[in-house]
């Protein structure tokens, strides 16, 4: 029976590495599927911090994932799985479409994403995944705050200083950006960066 599985973790926790590995293993097992991501790069790819990268289907905000699957299977056998990276950036409707593909098309979906944004709030697509998924799993790879505690939060830095207000997604998040960067923090240092 197909399932909607959601793997969540912080930046640097190994989500993309795991997405690439699952995609690789299912292809080796003879299954047909798609690797999907949501970034605004023309050369859509899923890249691991360890240096492995694979071409991926680049999703636009108003793309219908069901349609993408139908065109990928036309003339051939139906797809059996989808591996979806950067799922926190998907539209909420696209998460609904993933659930529909699992239930109606018997497609296994492996979605990977961040839990919370720089404000410590759930991404809307993540919230929907938590509500709809058959199976939830935390991805941990000992990503740490500078103090050595496990990292649980993301600080947004603009010109090196932490900001707490702004849009959930800014241009730099989805492609080559300007001066916006992110840093992994424990909650204590996400709340009070100056605290030692
Ligand atoms: Zn800390």
Quick one: 98 and 19 in the same domain? yes
**104-153 residue pLDDT tens:** 999 999 999 999 999 999 999 999 999 999 999 999 889 999 999 999 99
| Ligand 1 center–CA 182 separation, angstroms | 14
pTM confidence score: 0.93
Domain containing 93: what range? 4-138
| Ligand 1 center–CA 140 separation, angstroms | 17
| Ligand 1 center–CA 5 separation, angstroms | 30
Quick one: 116 and 52 in the same domain? yes
Quick one: 68 and 124 in the same domain? yes
**4-26 residue pLDDT tens:** 999 999 998 999 999 999 999 99
Q: Is pLDDT above 60 for 42?
A: no
Quick one: 76 and 129 in the same domain? yes
Burial class (CB in 10 A: 0-12, 13-18, 19+), 185: buried
Among the listed residues 86, 100, 131, 137, the single catalytic one is: 86
pLDDT at 175: 67
Task: Tell me the three-class secondary structure of 56-96, residue by residue.
Answer: CEECCCCCCHHHHHHHHHCCCCCCCEEEECCHHHCCHHHHH
**57-85 residue pLDDT tens:** 999 999 999 999 988 876 777 899 999 99
Closest CA to 72 of 107, 45, 22, 111: 107
Quick one: 165 and 80 in the same domain? no
Does 93 qualify as catalytic in the annotation?
Answer: no
Closest CA to 65 of 31, 35, 26, 32: 35
| Ligand 1 center–CA 120 separation, angstroms | 15
Q: What is the share, in percent, of the chain residues with pLDDT greater than 70?
A: 93
**155-169 residue pLDDT tens:** 999 888 999 888 888
Mean pLDDT for the chain?
91
Question: In whole angstroms, how far apart are CA 132 and each of 54, 80, 100, 181?
Answer: 28, 19, 10, 31
Domain count, the chain: 2
């Amino acid at each position: 029976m197909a399932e909607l599985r959601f793997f969540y973790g912080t930046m640097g926790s190994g989500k993309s590495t795991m997405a690439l590995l699952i995609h690789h293993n299912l292809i080796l097992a003879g299954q047909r599927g798609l690797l999907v991501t949501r970034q605004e790069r023309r050369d859509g790819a899923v890249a691991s911090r360890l240096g492995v990268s694979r071409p991926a289907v680049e999703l636009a905000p108003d793309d219908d994932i069901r349609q993408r699957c139908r065109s990928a299977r036309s003339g051939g056998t139906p797809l059996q799985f989808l591996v979806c990276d950067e799922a926190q950036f998907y539209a909420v409707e696209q998460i609904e479409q993933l659930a529909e593909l699992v239930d109606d098309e018997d497609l296994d979906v492996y979605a990977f994403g961040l839990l919370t944004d720089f404000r410590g709030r759930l991404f809307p697509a993540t919230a929907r995944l938590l509500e709809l998924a058959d199976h939830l799993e935390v991805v941990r790879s000992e990503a740490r705050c500078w103090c050595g505690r496990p990292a649980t939060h993301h600080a947004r830095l603009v010109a090196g200083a932490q900001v707490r207000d702004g849009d959930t997604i800014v241009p730099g998040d989805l492609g080559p950006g300007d001066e916006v960067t992110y840093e992994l923090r424990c909650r204590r240092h996400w709340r009070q960066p100056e605290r030692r």
